[in-house]
């Protein structure tokens, strides 16, 4: 059924309005990725005052490094890891638009909902972002014992947080914070699985630029399906 939710999201790419949402979402995702990558380079420079050489990039020295072709290729490679926080940050900035586009097409009989304020959306996204970082820090212990299953553990850990985040923020639009949490608790296994299935393609360079939008659309369908069941 989760696959069905995803296929509905993919099929909506034929919708002109949704393609516009997708295009803006991909650009936003790319901008967030560049921002996270720039922060990564700044962190390297903070803890290593002397310039260091990075493969395919050379010396890390400010804006010139960020804009180099080698740095762009390195960023695409690092997106395997960096796209998790990018996808988390995406929710506070754009999830509302994706969910609304999906509901307009597939659930037109629903009453309109008040748009979540930027302040509240950013606070929620910041909280989930902090949770993502904390959970990954704790997961470092698991990675040490996971051996060849490190990628699976990585996807499962991040899928738990991303699934919870995307589902909660989609559900809050219709049920409020309390109702969203209650529905999420009743279906936490399915939400975790959906989040893990989202985390896996986030590790595929270039493909991962599409996933935050398709993930938000998929979780919108998932919410309405589970909400109907109760």
Note the pLDDT of residue 69. 46
Confidence of residue 14 (pLDDT cuts 50, 70, 90): confident
Note the pLDDT of residue 172. 93
Note the pLDDT of residue 59. 54
User: What's the angle, vertex CA 87, arms to CA 181 and CA 78, rounded to 5?
Assistant: 145
Report, as an integer, the average pLDDT of 58-68: 51
Name the residue ranges covered by the structural domains of the chain: 2-27+79-229
- Other Cβ atoms closer than 10 A to 59: 12
**Residue 119, Ramachandran bin (φ over 0: left; ψ between -120 and 50: alpha; else beta):** alpha
Rg, Å, the chain Cα set:
18
**Higher per-residue confidence, 41 vs 18:** 18
First to last CA, the chain: 16
Q: Return the closest-CA partner of residue 33 out of 3, 66, 2, 10.
A: 66
- Does the pLDDT at position 19 exceed 70? yes
Percentage of the chain modeled with pLDDT above 90: 50
Distance, in Å, from the CA atom of 76 to the CA atom of 83, rounded to the nearest integer, reads: 10
**Higher per-residue confidence, 102 vs 130:** 102
Helix axes 150-186 and 69-106, enclosed angle (nearest 10): 30
What tens digit of pLDDT does each residue of 133-151 get?
Answer: 898 888 888 888 888 999 9
Distance, in Å, from the CA atom of 131 to the CA atom of 98, rounded to the nearest integer, reads: 23
Spacing of C-alpha 80 from chain mean position: 12
Distance, in Å, from the CA atom of 70 to the CA atom of 83, rounded to the nearest integer, reads: 19
Note the pLDDT of residue 67. 46
């Amino acid at each position: 059924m989760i696959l069905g939710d995803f296929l509905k999201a993919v099929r909506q790419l034929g919708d002109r309005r949704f393609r516009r949402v997708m295009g803006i979402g991909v650009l936003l995702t790319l901008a967030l990725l560049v921002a996270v990558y720039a922060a990564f380079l700044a962190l390297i420079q903070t803890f290593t005052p002397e310039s260091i050489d990075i493969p395919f990039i050379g010396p890390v020295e400010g804006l010139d490094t960020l804009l180099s072709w080698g740095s762009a290729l390195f960023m695409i490679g690092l997106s395997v890891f960096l796209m998790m926080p990018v996808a988390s940050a995406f929710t506070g900035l754009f999830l509302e638009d994706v969910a609304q586009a999906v509901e307009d097409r597939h659930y037109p009989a629903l009453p309109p909902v008040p748009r979540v304020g930027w302040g509240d959306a950013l606070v929620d996204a910041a909280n989930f972002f902090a949770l993502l970082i904390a959970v990954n820090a704790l997961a470092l212990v698991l990675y040490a014992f996971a051996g060849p299953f490190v990628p699976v553990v990585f996807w499962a850990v991040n899928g738990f947080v991303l699934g919870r985040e995307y589902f909660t923020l989609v559900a809050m639009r219709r049920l409020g914070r309390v109702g969203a949490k209650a529905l999420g608790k009743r279906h936490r296994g399915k939400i975790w699985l959906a989040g893990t299935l989202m985390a896996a393609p986030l590790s595929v360079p270039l493909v991962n630029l599409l996933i935050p939008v398709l993930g938000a659309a998929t979780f919108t369908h998932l919410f309405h399906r589970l909400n109907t069941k109760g």
